[in-house]
Structure 1
Amino acid sequence: MLGLELSAGVDGVVEKIEKLPTDLFAETLQAILVHLQDQNKAVDLIETCNKFQRAGINLDQKAVQDVIKLLSYYFRLAAKSNLSADVLVSKLTECSSKWSKPNLQLVHQFWTEHGSLLHQEVLTMASIGQLVDIQWKLGMAVSSDTCRSLNSSFISVLMKIADTSGEVSYKSFEMTVQQFQNFYRQFKEMASVLETV
């Protein structure tokens, strides 16, 4: 319906939002707006889950991710279409009748105060994943059931990537030293091209 994949459907996600205390809902809205304004690479899913649990709201990571996805989706939609706070609230009530009046008022207030800060180019950039961090370490293969050439060095790489919903995921892989040197050269070339833009 929305072009948005939610594990519990829109009504189910809104019901979860309605369980949140007002101050926690406000913090979540603020974190999403900061992310969309590109002041933060991602909404930290683990930290948000921990905040919910400390407040006595037991939602698993998938449910918290759905909350972030739904709110991010509507904030992006409102920014791209230059919607007023009133129209944003009416869009939210169209998608689900489960919204409470206080939460809709809070969304209205946040959008009125902060919505104009979202720029089209920031939203365009936020619609793709972002590389948040990359770590690497040098290793040495000393034993293996399948490898014949031991005592060869390799590079282990761990990449931290934030997707459009703010969920942070990790990707890891290994490569030879020569592959890593080529990988490094390509990143260096990309950095020099980006400096000229």
Structure 2
Amino acid sequence: MASIMKEAPNGYESAIELINSLKHEDLTELGSEVLQFLQYKIGAVNTEKWRKKLEESAEGNDLQKTQSIINALIYTFRSAARYRVTVEELTAELDSSMVFSDKTCTILCNLWSTQGKQLMSCSLGDHVLGVGQLIDVQWKVGMAMSSDTCRQLNSPFVTLTLTVADAGGNLKTHPLELTMDQFRNFTNQLKEIGKVLEMV
């Protein structure tokens, strides 16, 4: 089994420390909601609702801390599903990490024993976890000189070619042609995604 902790993103351990401070019933309810989210039974985990609820449990809890708690739970359960770990393997992994309290380890493993099989079921597992992998990005800048409707178009464009491996390992190529404004918007969105991923 690959180690969940070795691949954990930055900020994971500090989020687990926040999780350790939660009340038993709050962690059980939040963990169950995260598992429902991962199984597409609910559309999202309501961060604002949980921020208000956890203010009592975690002193000075703000929206960013609440989001990091939710992200850490999502990462933990997603990783367990990806590696198809048993309850015993998950217990051993969390115990050996020295980051999870006994209470947190017990709650997460109990949740995994009751809901983990649904998350790992073949069709659901492929849907939730088989999102594809970006293999290659090729790009080039071009200039459209004219078109059927405009003789002097002189408009720059960017062509992106994305190569993606699907859940079965098959490679698919997706070409995109973007105007300069669309390309700027695309790069800004990638920067936003990068900032969000750094907060996980």
Q: What TM-score do the two structures reach when normalised by structure 2? A: 0.55
- 1:15 and 1:71 map into 2 onto residues whose CA distance is 12
* One of 120, 124, 128 as aligned partner of 2:125: 120
Provide the residue aligned with 1:77 in structure 2: 79
1:29-178 → structure 2 map (5 Å cutoff): 29-55=31-57, 57-94=59-96, 96-118=97-119, 119-124=124-129
Closer, same or farther: CA 126–45 of 1 in aligned 2, 3 Å: farther
User: Which runs of no fewer than 5 residues in structure 2 stay unpaired?
Assistant: 1-5, 133-200
Provide the residue aligned with 2:29 in structure 1: 27
SS at match of 1:39: coil
SS at match of 1:79: helix
Contact 1:93–1:99 under 8 Å retained in 2: yes
* CA deviation profile, 1:36-58 (whole Å, cap 9, x unmatched): 01011111111111111255643
- 2:99 and 2:60 map into 1 onto residues whose CA distance is 19
SS at match of 2:55: helix
- 1:75 and 1:56 map into 2 onto residues whose CA distance is 22
CA RMSD of aligned residues (A): 2.4
1:75 Cα deviation (Å)? 0.6
Closer, same or farther: CA 109–41 of 1 in aligned 2, 3 Å: same
Closer, same or farther: CA 126–31 of 1 in aligned 2, 3 Å: farther
Q: What TM-score do the two structures reach when normalised by structure 1? A: 0.56
- 1:108 and 1:4 map into 2 onto residues whose CA distance is 21
For these two proteins, the number of residue pairs brought into alignment is 124
Letter of the 1:83 counterpart: V
User: Which runs of no fewer than 5 residues in structure 1 stay unpaired?
Assistant: 128-197
Contact 1:37–1:122 under 8 Å retained in 2: no
Contact 1:19–1:57 under 8 Å retained in 2: no
Closer, same or farther: CA 5–116 of 1 in aligned 2, 3 Å: same
